[in-house]
Amino acid sequence: MPDLLTPPRVRRGWYIACPSDALGAAPRAMRLLGDPVVLFRDADGTAGALVDRCPHRNVPLSGGAVVDGALRCPYHGWRFARDGRCAHIPALDGPPGAAHSADAHTVREQQGFVWIWGQAGGEPDTDPFHFSLIDAPGYLVVRREVAATGSVHAVAENALDVPHTAFLHGGLFRTDRDRAPIQCVVTRWADRVACEYIGEARPEGLVGRLLSPSGGLVTHFDRFILPSIVQVEYRIGEENHILVDAALTPVDDFETRLTAVVALKTRLPGFLVRPVVTPFALRIFGQDQVILKEQTESMQHFGEQRFVSTDIDLLGPHILKLLQRAERGDLGDLDRAPTVRETTMRV
């Protein structure tokens, strides 16, 4: 029987392990794709990541301490370097060998985040995602981590889905009234998929009214980039630009951490916008968390994911196919021209 529940596990990809400032002198435990990982900094402060299991007697290394730049197991005191090599076995009359190594993940630290390659022992063939507006002048930038009970696929689809907003977030930025057709152009490359919404009116809800009191057309893109980046971009009139970049970390099959970088440029002064952005985003995401958890529990209860999609499930099915291909290691041809499809949606 095919497994209809387990979501794709994409190991060949970069994921955010934690913000840089969350990793200090003590080792830090996390999970990635269900497996325990321990992060630590060596004597130079360079971040490393090991599978969180001592090869000797299988206890978690995260319970230990960093000694002379190596991570020391709390049970028998074996010490491991950033690359997993065993540096020292106390009481042993001789040096450790290759058999005593721990498995290591490649780590990169950039823009204030510790990124980890999904496959222990694997060689990265790409670079971590770059947040384009994180230091852009004139933008208000907010960073925030949140967690959801749902697969990367479910969380990404939810984040990029327009039709649910009128119900789950009813009144906050869309309503179920006075719908008008808009054009949706979905473009899919080998490693990403994007949707442009053409003809969208300024949302009727609170956000729209604040940003662009006089109304006007909206430029709106939703994008998903392998292995787990979601991007929502709005331009409302000339003055307003919102770019939400979120990197999803698959903690476990149905547990996803979302690291969001929200970049905002608006006609409103920063002192007005700043106190509103985070509470507003957290309220919306709180509603999403509830429904994602219910969705996950329902699928787990029935032992399957059985979705029926329509033409207006614009990105979810593409995201699933991208993840499934990436899990198989089928990267496709990055240079091939994208496929494009147009659909009408009533928003």
Residues that bind a copy of itself (CB under 8 A): 35-36, 52-53, 55-60, 63, 72-77, 89-93, 99-100, 161-164, 166-168, 176, 179, 181, 291, 294-295, 298-299, 301-302, 305-312, 344-347
Nearest distance from residue 63's CB to a copy of itself, in Å?
6
Nearest distance from residue 153's CB to a copy of itself, in Å?
11
- Cis omega (within 30 of 0) on the bond before 227? yes
Nearest distance from residue 61's CB to a copy of itself, in Å?
10
Q: Which two tokens stand for residue 61?
A: 């290394």
**Single-letter amino acid, residue 193:** V
Ramachandran quadrant class, 306 (left: phi over 0; alpha: psi -120 to 50; beta: rest): beta
What's the rounded Cα separation, in Å, for the pair 273 and 264?
A: 9
Phi, psi of 301 (to 5 degrees): -65, -45
- CB nearer to a copy of itself: pick between 243 and 314: 314
- CB nearer to a copy of itself: pick between 52 and 233: 52
Phi, psi of 219 (to 5 degrees): -100, 125
What's the rounded Cα separation, in Å, for the pair 204 and 266?
A: 17
- CB nearer to a copy of itself: pick between 102 and 211: 102
Who contacts 231 (Cβ-Cβ below 8 Å, separation ≥6)? 221, 222, 223, 224, 225, 243, 244, 245, 246
Q: Tell me the three state secondary structure of residue 122.
A: coil
- CB nearer to a copy of itself: pick between 278 and 344: 344
Nearest distance from residue 100's CB to a copy of itself, in Å?
6
Q: Tell me the three state secondary structure of residue 316.
A: helix
In this structure, are residues 258 and 148 in contact, taking their beta carbons and an 8 Å threshold? yes
Question: Which residues on adjacent β-strands are paired with residue 293?
Answer: none
What's the rounded Cα separation, in Å, for the pair 236 and 173?
A: 13
- CB nearer to a copy of itself: pick between 150 and 237: 150
- CB nearer to a copy of itself: pick between 90 and 286: 90
Nearest distance from residue 129's CB to a copy of itself, in Å?
27
- CB nearer to a copy of itself: pick between 130 and 177: 177
How big is the chain, counted in residues? Answer: 347
- CB nearer to a copy of itself: pick between 158 and 240: 158
Other Cβ atoms within 10 Å of 119 Cβ, number: 17
Nearest distance from residue 309's CB to a copy of itself, in Å?
7
Nearest distance from residue 62's CB to a copy of itself, in Å?
9
Nearest distance from residue 268's CB to a copy of itself, in Å?
29
